[in-house]
Amino acid sequence: MIVPVGLKDRQIVEDNVRKMLGNSSGDMRKLLFEESIGGNAGKNCAATNFYYDALGRIVYFGNPQDFLREFRNNGYKKGTFVLKLGKDGFRVVQTIISPTSLVAKHNLETTAGEYNSSK
């Protein structure tokens, strides 16, 4: 099924990629440097948990115990990017998301592709 991509979806993907590259609290890059590589994620891999809204906009990267209280019970769903460390840095190799809308799925998968292309 083809999901129409509009200007709003494009903005969501751009915002998500910025959140992945950011170093602030709740951003993926900051979380990556706090996580261990290997373990449950696999050899040379790290897993980053995130929370997203119904349209696939990522609101927070972090572990469940760190998820800000004001975001809890507000309809956000949990996802995980599995990233593999290579010579060009980290690349998303798997996107794991809760059952969600086609629009959210499309935006999150497009986000992973755009992140990988930004390397």
Q: Can you tell me the distance from the alpha carbon of 93 to that of 22, in angstroms, rounded to the nearest whole number?
A: 19
List all residues 6 or more positions away from 38 whose beta carbon is below 8 Å from its beta carbon.
44, 45
Supply the angle between the helices 102-117 and 7-21 in degrees, to the nearest 10: 50
Q: Can you tell me the distance from the alpha carbon of 10 to that of 23, in angstroms, rounded to the nearest whole number?
A: 22
Closest CA to 96 of 107, 105, 84, 87: 105
Length, in residues, of the chain: 119
Give the pLDDT confidence score for residue 2 in this predicted structure: 45
Residue 31 near residue 58, CB atoms below 8 Å:
no
Query: The tokens 């992973």 sit on which residue?
Result: 112
Give the pLDDT confidence score for residue 98 in this predicted structure: 83
Q: Which residues pair with 77 in a beta bridge?
A: 52
Give the pLDDT confidence score for residue 34 in this predicted structure: 77
Direct distance between the N- and C-terminal alpha carbons of the chain, in angstroms, rounded to an integer: 29
What's the token pair of residue 40?
A: 């449950």
Could you say which residues of the chain have pLDDT below 50? Answer: 1-3
